[in-house]
Amino acid sequence: MSEDLKPEWSDPNEPDKFSKLIKRGQELEGQPVTIEKNTVFQKRKSMEPTIEELVHGVLTGNRGQLARAITLVESNAEQHFHKAQELLQKLLAHSGKAIRIGITGVPGAGKSTFIEAFGTYLCDLGLRVAVLAIDPSSSLSGGSILGDKTRMEQLSRNPRAFIRPSPTAGKLGGVHRKTRESMLICEAAGFDVILIETVGVGQSEVIIRDMVDFFMLLVLTGAGDELQGMKKGIMELADTVLVHKADGANKEKAEQTRKEYSRILHFLQPATKGWASKAYTCSSLTGEGIKEVWDVIKDFELKGKSSGVFAERRKGQQRDWIYSLITDQLHYSFFHHPEVKLKLPQLENEVMAGEKTAATAVDILFHTFLSGKK
């Protein structure tokens, strides 16, 4: 080897650890490759699946395509919006067959652990279970309930289950739009039960109530004062109150708490016409009471379907959905209108300084919004 084929640098102290030689590149035998002038290079086919591929994938229960379809629906990119709607339109006729269950409760009530136990129980019955989450904080933090996948470790490995952490909010509708559309996709993929988890901190339980058939509230023992302070509103939304973590030393207390909740539920407006919401105890650690929860839901479904309340609620939810989308769209278009964005800070200052009334400022903004070009 000639001198000029030595590497540019090697450590003189450790000569054995570095290559001392470089091989010369080999000449190709035969005709050299030539590229014709004016050759048109074809762009590599995009890896994004077509709508048809997604529809087929979802309908045949292909998990990869299911995840991709949900990603498309969750996308905040405007060019994906129409594609997602086209996909949903094609899947719509195949959706609606699952029972939709909403689960709420304060942070730490054990919602994720309950879903792990309950979901696994349902899978063992031969059912297919999809878990979605609405995380109201994600619109602020941009994150999602990341820990949930690890809390639902057993369920996430179950071939009958599919777990999707909550989407992040963005344009063209908030988190709830995406969750609702993801639910339709999961139904088209053949899931029998959809479980939606949300932390009960305000608006999210109302949103979830509007998209599920059955809504349950997970509570903890030690009620008493807590019970008094609990918003009546959220209890009026619940088809069942579950006193959770009824195990070990907590079991007796849980029974007491259950009685108290039952008593209160008795006096409240029923969440579902013709259904008396009751309180139960259950433990996700021991599995006690898990089966009974499913029995209650089955009973609820049976009664609701025969009385027509079940179908009526779904129809109402479909109708309400239009209005919530309109609100979303208006909100988004208004606050993203370039001239509105430009004028808003100044008007805000003027209102704060007492120079203009809030109504005048809003009037100016709406004139700008309605007459100004996009």
Closest CA to 144 of 131, 159, 130: 131
Residue 104 binds which entry of ligand GTP, Mg ion, none, with Cβ cut-offs from 5 to 8 Å by kind?
none
Closest CA to 293 of 215, 235, 234: 215
| Consecutive H or E run containing 242 | strand 240-243
Query: CB under 5 A: which stretch of 97-105, 109-117, 262-270, 304-312 binds Mg ion?
Result: 109-117
Binding of ligand GTP by 199 (CB under 6 A): yes
Binding of Mg ion by 166 (CB under 5 A): no
Binding of Mg ion by 112 (CB under 5 A): yes
Question: In angstroms, rounded to a whole number, what is the distance separating the alpha carbons of residues 311 and 66?
Answer: 27
Nearer to ligand GTP, 240 or 368 (CB): 240
Binding of ligand GTP by 285 (CB under 6 A): yes
Residue closest to Mg ion when measured from CB atoms: 112
Query: 129 by DSSP, 3-state: which?
Result: strand
Interaction residues for ligand GTP, span 54-113 (CB under 6 A):
105, 107-113
Site string for ligand GTP, 14-53 (x = CB under 6 A): ----------------------------------------
Nearer to Mg ion, 58 or 115 (CB): 115
Least distance in Å: CB of 326 to ligand GTP? 31
Question: In angstroms, rounded to a whole number, what is the distance separating the alpha carbons of residues 294 and 119?
Answer: 10
Question: In angstroms, rounded to a whole number, what is the distance separating the alpha carbons of residues 348 and 362?
Answer: 10
Question: In angstroms, rounded to a whole number, what is the distance separating the alpha carbons of residues 372 and 366?
Answer: 9
Question: In angstroms, rounded to a whole number, what is the distance separating the alpha carbons of residues 157 and 147?
Answer: 15
Backbone angles phi, psi at 284, to 5 degrees: -85, -15
β-pairing, 214-219 vs 99-105, is parallel
Backbone angles phi, psi at 193, to 5 degrees: -130, 130
Query: CB under 5 A: which stretch of 8-16, 108-116, 290-298, 307-315 binds Mg ion?
Result: 108-116
- For the chain, the straight-line distance linking the first and the last C-alpha, in angstroms and rounded, comes to 69
Residue 113 binds which entry of ligand GTP, Mg ion, none, with Cβ cut-offs from 5 to 8 Å by kind?
ligand GTP
Residue 107 binds which entry of ligand GTP, Mg ion, none, with Cβ cut-offs from 5 to 8 Å by kind?
ligand GTP
* From candidates 245, 271, 293, 337, binder to ligand GTP by CB under 6 A: 245
Binding of ligand GTP by 257 (CB under 6 A): no
Least distance in Å: CB of 289 to ligand GTP? 9
Locate tokens 């609620």: which residue? 313
Q: What b-and-e string marks burial along 2-40, b requiring 16 or more CB atoms within 10 Å of the CB?
A: eeeeeeeeeeeeeeeeeeeeeeeeeeeeeeeeeeeeeee
Site residues for Mg ion per CB under 5 A: 111-112
What residues make contact with ligand GTP under the rule CB under 6 A? 105, 107-113, 145, 151, 199, 244-245, 247, 283-285
